[in-house]
Structure 1
Amino acid sequence: MSSPNALDKRSFSKEFNMLLLLLQSDRTVTFEEAWEQSQQIDWNEFLFYVGYHHVNPVVYPLLKRLNDERQFVPPAIMQKMSHRFMKNTYEMLHLRGEMERVVQLLEGKGIRSLMLKGPTLAALLYGDISGRTSKDLDILVSKADMKLTEKLLMEEGYRLSEDTPLLLNNTERKTHHLSYFHYEKGIEIELHWRLNPDTVKEPDFEALWARRQVSTLHPSVHSLGNEDLFLYLVLHGTRHGWSCLRWLLDIDRIVAKPLERDTIQQLLQTYRGRDLIGLAFVLAQGLLGTKLPDALASLSASNKGEKLAPYVLIFMRERAILHPKPEKRDIAIYYNRYMLATMPFSQKGLYLLNKIYPSSWDAEVLPLPKALHFLYFPLRPFLWIWRQVKRQSI
């Protein structure tokens, strides 16, 4: 494993650089460029990168246009990409139908909801729900409406998707949403009461609702206003190490939308995320050729962003799995360093405190009756060591 180095695309494989070429947003890729970059690449490896980064809905139409001009992609690869494109279109239509049904169900009970990603984000940023992938529906409701929303979802056949014990009422401390799965429909809903983990300051639901926008998909469906959505996408991508290019594509698309610089500046006083915007812009410009509007150019300068970017290159190059936790020990070390470096001092304390607080991972190692859950506090260091030993033995 190499140490973080400069933001340099030459450190990537030919297959990944081929993918980056196709995703350039500042110009139209020519056949000659694509053909030259495609020489001696492993097309199955390229297809793996496309899947890992969840960008088939964007790459397939581009590659089809170039390949129609003169065939240079193996037919079997194009067939697989075409199949994935059609499959994603069907799945997004399926999600859209359920989204509209659930939103109207909540609306009928007086519950306001905001869609965070899914079909609404695809339609807003890519012009069509088939232009982006999504594995679930992310719905934000006010904390006061959480219990009733959970009850309604359960009545509709949704069940908590992870059968893990909740220790010492740690749900709000450890996460910012709960996942529900409908086994007959094959649909997962992430029910949020916050946008981000509880170590991040953010506007309350009322402020977000006041700046909402109506989705073009349905008059009952609302999503975050552009400025809130922009910062949410920045924070979400940061938390996941920007290891998936789909999240950078979202940034590339949203900066082309009308964004009020003054509103973003005001929100940054709450989020304290100027350096994180700088990181997102360093990556989007360096990897995708994203052009920033003048209104956002002053937000792009960040020494910390430039220092953090090489960590992201490691995550991408190693095709790292970072959530729910890194699979490899060396990646976990880099990820923890990266996460701490993204946080202001006050947030680091809360982050480390939450690391000390018992979690469901401890209960998996040593199940205890509820009356003895308090023992997880003194036992946590030993349980953590045991989990590391087991990870190394796999």
Structure 2
Amino acid sequence: MTFYSFPIGKLIDSIKTNQPILLTNELIKLLKNHRLLPYFLQNNLCEKTENMKLFFQENSKKNFKFFNKILELNEAFYKKNINFNILKGVVLSKQIYNDIGSRECRDIDLLIEEKNTNVVHDILLKQNFHLRESNKLQNKTYQKYFHHVSYLNSNEKIMIELHWRPFSIESFFPENDFSKISKKVIVSNQEISVLNNEYNLIYLCIHGSLHMFSELIWILDIAKFIKTQEIDWNKIQQISKLWRIERPISMSIFLASFLCNATIPNEYKNPDKKTKKLINLVLRQLPNEKRNLAYRIKKLIYFINLKDGFIYKWNNIKYRFFRALIQ
């Protein structure tokens, strides 16, 4: 692929070969933009200057602060008998990188049942969080076209995204039975609830696909998840077919292999023609830092073709229109 002629190709080659790179200012910027710098530092893939060491220490400190907050919330939710899952973030970092500090995380993502939004809202207020989208939690139209709200604790500098469903367009992840989608993991001798392996992989694939994999960290996460977790691939295929999400799943798994050397089942090694077109769109945009009109048009075409079916395409356009209107 032609993107190997771009600086980002050096990062990809380093990940694939596990060989260190000589840093330039341009590569440092790329590592930060794609949130890969902690991973490169932890795995000795780049020089550890004093500034780099300081960056890694600060990132680890922030991630442990996030994790301690998760433990507080875990206890508060348990007392109220509230089902929840931690999405991505520091818990995923521990799961797949075996280190809380090896992944750069912006916030804490909580998935809850929609019926518990008000109870969780009150818990967060008691922990000195405030709702950033004022009054939107009670707005039914907002809840229909969006899937989360954000809370900020200004003193602790922690942001939480509270999800009542994984994605705005429900058909990408329609299952909401926590007994089916959840499992417990042990982190620092604490039980934390997360998506089980199959649903977690599906979530990571859909999440990255919906962002058009604009950050390499999302592809690396999928590759590391495949490498470190036991996955029932038959179940992945069954769910993908049932939810009609074969295309984003196939694309994501292929990219994890192509860019990060993940070992994948034969069924995903040769995507169909429509999926290959989406893959090529992702690969062409990966080195492109510009977000101009041409990019936005290609992104719209990409989204419309992410799933088959008139209902999905109509919902995609409808959701974009109403989201722009509400915002």
| Fold similarity call, TM over 0.5 | yes
1:56, distance to aligned residue in structure 2 (A): 1.0
| Structure 1 pair 212–164 and aligned structure 2 pair: CA distance change class (3 A) | closer
Counterpart CA distance in 1 for 2:125 and 2:301 is 39
Aligned to 1:353: 318
Tell me the TM-score normalised to structure 1 length. 0.76
> How is 1:235-384 mapped onto 2 (pairs within 5 angstroms)?
235-256=206-227, 257-292=229-264, 296-303=265-272, 304-319=274-289, 328-345=292-309, 346-357=311-322, 359=323, 361-362=324-325
| Structure 1 pair 219–203 and aligned structure 2 pair: CA distance change class (3 A) | farther
Total equivalences in the alignment: 323
Aligned to 1:16: 8
Which has the larger displacement, 223-232 or 195-204?
195-204
* Ranges in structure 1 where 5+ consecutive residues have no aligned partner: 1-6, 68-72, 321-326, 365-394
Counterpart CA distance in 2 for 1:168 and 1:86 is 41
2:263 counterpart letter in structure 1: K
1:221 counterpart letter in structure 2: I
Cα offsets for 1:52-87 (capped at 9, x unmatched): 0001111113346xx7xxxxx5xxx72322221111
1:163, distance to aligned residue in structure 2 (A): 4.9
Cα offsets for 1:271-306 (capped at 9, x unmatched): 3111112211332222223222xxx32134322221
Aligned to 1:158: 129
Equivalent residue in structure 2 for 1:53, among 22, 30, 34: 34
Cα offsets for 1:320-379 (capped at 9, x unmatched): 5xxxxxx5322211111111111222211111122333x4x5477xxxxxxxxxxxxxxx
Greater strand proportion? 2
Contact 2:152–2:159 (Cα < 8 Å) also in 1:
yes
SS in 1 for 2:254: helix
Contact 1:106–1:112 (Cα < 8 Å) also in 2:
yes
2:287 counterpart letter in structure 1: R
Contact 1:172–1:198 (Cα < 8 Å) also in 2:
no
1:184 counterpart letter in structure 2: N
1:263, distance to aligned residue in structure 2 (A): 1.7
Residue 216, structure 1, aligned to residue 180, structure 2: no
Contact 2:42–2:102 (Cα < 8 Å) also in 1:
no
Counterpart CA distance in 1 for 2:10 and 2:172 is 39
Cα offsets for 1:135-180 (capped at 9, x unmatched): 1111111111112111211222211224587897321232111111
Q: Which has the larger radius of gyration?
A: 1
2:250 counterpart letter in structure 1: G
> How is 1:135-174 mapped onto 2 (pairs within 5 angstroms)?
135-163=106-134, 169-174=140-145
Which has the larger displacement, 193-202 or 329-338?
193-202
Contact 2:254–2:268 (Cα < 8 Å) also in 1:
no
Aligned to 1:104: 75
Counterpart CA distance in 2 for 1:109 and 1:61 is 38
1:291 counterpart letter in structure 2: T
1:268 counterpart letter in structure 2: S
| Structure 1 pair 204–273 and aligned structure 2 pair: CA distance change class (3 A) | closer
* Ranges in structure 2 where 5+ consecutive residues have no aligned partner: none
Task: Output the aligned Cα RMSD.
Answer: 2.4
SS in 2 for 1:280: helix
| Structure 1 pair 55–307 and aligned structure 2 pair: CA distance change class (3 A) | same
SS in 2 for 1:170: helix
Tell me the TM-score normalised to structure 2 length. 0.90
Contact 1:199–1:347 (Cα < 8 Å) also in 2:
no
Contact 2:137–2:143 (Cα < 8 Å) also in 1:
no
1:18 counterpart letter in structure 2: K
Counterpart CA distance in 1 for 2:166 and 2:222 is 17
Contact 1:115–1:223 (Cα < 8 Å) also in 2:
yes
Counterpart CA distance in 1 for 2:208 and 2:217 is 9
SS in 2 for 1:344: coil
Sequence identity (%) = 21
Cα offsets for 1:77-115 (capped at 9, x unmatched): 723222211111001000000011011111111111111
Counterpart CA distance in 2 for 1:80 and 1:44 is 13
